[in-house]
Chains A and B, each alone.
Chain A
Amino acid sequence: MATTTTTFDTPTPRPLIGYGPLRRLMRAPMAMVGLFIVLAFIFVGLTADWIAPHDYDLPDFSMARKGPSPGHLLGNDEIGRDMLSRLMHGARISLTIGLTSVAIGVSFGVVLGVLSGYFGGFTDLLIMRLIDIMLAFPSILLAIMMVAFLGPSLQNAMLAIGVISIPVYARLVRSSTLTIKEESFIEAARALGGSHFFILLRHILPNVVAPIIVQSTLQIAAAIQAAAALGFLGIGAPPDVPEWGNMIQKGRAYIFSAPHIVVFPGLATMFVVLGFSLLGDGLRDALDPRLK
């Protein structure tokens, strides 16, 4: 087998939304399933206010703990609120948490990773040690720790979930950066007098976008799971908010007589996480088939 030749490579344009990756994506059935789930989730989350059949916070004690019935397709919760409407509004909350935490993770993680990979040396060492320390904690534990000490609230939960994703992005971006840094066109750009900042912005970042997108999709899945876990432990979103983990926690007392209160939010969480995972896997395959 021939060894890789060091030729003067032209920077391969890696179009993000080009004909190639999109087509590959569409040909993968599981990824399409994932995409469908994700789109459905986003749609429900955004339009919950309008399409929910009932007021999600309106109690009807006479319907407390009743199972699925004609007016209430997924049953009623412990004080008679409509489960379907609550799940829909919960979708919005999960979506918010997912996006916010990804935003935090990307902002800090990408910056750290790029700086670390590009400048190398002491910066790299320092940042990587920091990342290692963060990775020393099992991630859910780190989130729990932050919320426990900062005080349980929705903002702190989002912050904590965002923070635990930073190391993942940092490592990912760092390794991409390292790869790209070796490409000759970077050397050329430096030779032509480009500043670091310019190179970072113009050359490194665009090529790092692909793995970031893949990771973010998977990250939203992880964020939703983490949010549900925190909600279940009672340290996530405030109790009156219909977050799926909260709903499971509150319904726990009634699992023997009214299991639907616990079953449906869990199913919802599972499918949404599944959707994002399938989509993420599919995107990974589509955007960089060499990595298969």
Chain B
Amino acid sequence: MINYIIRRLLLAIPVLLGASFFVFWSIRWVPGDPAVAIAGELATPELIAQVREQLGLDEPVHVQFSMYLFRTFQGDMGKSVKTGVPVSSEIARRLPNTLQLAAASLVLSAIIGIPIGVFSATKPNSWFDGGSMTFALLGVSMPIFWLGLMLMIFFAVLLPKWLDLPGPVLPPTGSGTWKHMVMPTIALAANSMAIQARMTRACMLEVLRQDYIRTARAKGLIERLVIYRHAFRNALIPIVTVIGLQFGTLLGGAVLTETVFAWPGIGRLLVEAIGFRDYPVIQGAILVITVGFVLTNLLVDVLYAYLDPRVHYD
């Protein structure tokens, strides 16, 4: 198994390199001079020339890329065009907020999604099953940002109106208290929740069909024990991996949720940077999110190997 882990780690490296190359190279797509894109359109010609020299924009690609990697490892991702603040410190300030939101969403989606999936699987084709799977399908089809806005309307307008309250039940934007976290977490979790419910149900159904379950039942075990001790535990492996993979997707979905709720995370930083054509920030944010995504997936793969003794090789 150690071999497997090492193998996966080694495989992740070219992927990381490739992805960072892609991000590094992306600034060349901007029409015009990349030095202007990095320094900002308002920069003086001297500053632009300085940027061109510092980043070696005239050098061959591989040299530039190594310089880029070297700089990034040292934590230098350039300066924001808009504020002049180093990109790395802007990201460092915002990243914990996003992680907080993503983690909370993950927990919420697991706490609700998995039990629903399990229950549906134990009572297939019942009202509960049909109903919950329909909801799950809706949850997957709904645009996250729209759900966020609907939650806002509900908690900030409708609910106060029905309950005759002076102000909104939950603050619609910003951060700072647990109340600010409720709506963004629900919005972000909805999609994941639905996927996990469906996944859990599918996995459980698969497992429940297995022979050893029949054996357990034949042995006379109480149904509940059958489900939890045998079926669930074995279905858990793919379920856990799905949860882990969801974390990565949540990082991407956070972009939309943070924009809706003005949550000060890295997703919103990215969106605002796009509006301002703040390319250094865009690059930095994408790189950090992507690296996080790759590492999370890697972790999940390793976790999968750890949990499932049947996995020996790639």
Contacts and interface: CB of A to CB of B under 8 A. Distances in A.
Direct contact of A and B (CB under 8 A): yes
Interface of A: 129-130, 132-133, 136-141, 144-146, 148-151, 221, 225, 228-229, 232-235, 245, 248, 252, 255-256, 259, 262-263, 265-266, 269-271, 273-274, 277-278
Contact of B146 (A234, A269, A278): A269
Contacts of B140: 277
B143 interface: yes
Nearest to B25: A149
A270 B290 contact: no
B22 A133 contact: yes
A270 B138 contact: yes
Interface string B135-149: 001101111111101
Contacts of B15: 129, 132-133, 136
Central interface residue in A132, A137, A263, A265, by most chain B CB within 10 Å = A137
Interface stretch (B27-35, B79-87, B234-242): B27-35
B150 A270 contact: no
A256 B294 contact: no
A270 B253 contact: no
26 contacts: A129-B15, A129-B18, A136-B16, A137-B290, A138-B249, A139-B252, A140-B253, A141-B290, A145-B26, A148-B274, A148-B282, A149-B27, A149-B279, A228-B143, A229-B145, A232-B256, A233-B259, A233-B271, A234-B275, A262-B146, A262-B149, A269-B142, A270-B138, A270-B141, A274-B141, A277-B140
B271 to A, nearest CB: 6
Nearest to B11: A132
B286 A141 contact: yes
Interface string B269-301: 011001100010010001001100110000000
A141 B252 contact: yes
B307 interface: no
Given A136-B293, A138-B249, A233 B256 contact: yes
B29 A150 contact: yes
Contacts of B253: 138, 140
A225 B271 CA distance: 18
A192 to B, nearest CB: 35
A interface secondary structure, majority: helix
Contacts of A266: 142-143, 146-147, 149-150
A263 B150 contact: yes
Interface stretch (B52-60, B113-121, B152-160): B152-160
B149 A221 contact: no
Contacts of A129: 14-15, 18
Contacts of B150: 263, 266
A151 B31 contact: yes
B141 A221 contact: yes
Nearest 5 A-B pairs (CB), nearest first?
A: A138-B252, A266-B146, A133-B18, A273-B141, A136-B19
Contact of B143 (A150, A235, A270): A270
B149 A248 contact: yes
Interface of B: 14-16, 18-19, 22-23, 26-27, 29-31, 137-138, 140-147, 149-150, 152-153, 156-157, 248-249, 251-253, 255-256, 259, 270-271, 274-275, 279, 282, 286, 289-290, 293-294
Given A233-B271, A252-B149, A270-B141, A138 B19 contact: no
B189 to A, nearest CB: 16
A136 B249 CA distance: 11
Nearest to B157: A256
B298 to A, nearest CB: 10
Central interface residue in B147, B259, B279, by most chain A CB within 10 Å = B259
Contacts of B14: 129
B138 A274 contact: yes
A276 to B, nearest CB: 9
Contacts of B293: 136-138, 141
Contacts of B146: 228, 248, 262, 265-266, 269-270
Contacts of A259: 153, 157
Nearest to A269: B143
A255 B155 CA distance: 12
B161 to A, nearest CB: 11
Contacts of B22: 133, 137
Nearest to A141: B252
Contacts of B26: 145-146, 149
Contacts of A132: 15, 18
B256 A270 contact: no
B252 A140 contact: yes
B141 A277 contact: yes
Contacts of B274: 144, 148, 233, 235
A228 B31 CA distance: 25
Given A221-B141, A255-B149, A263-B150, A138 B18 contact: no
A36 B102 CA distance: 36
Nearest to A276: B141
Given A132-B18, A145-B286, A233-B274, 10 more contacts: A136-B18, A136-B293, A144-B274, A225-B143, A233-B271, A235-B274, A248-B145, A252-B149, A270-B141, A277-B137
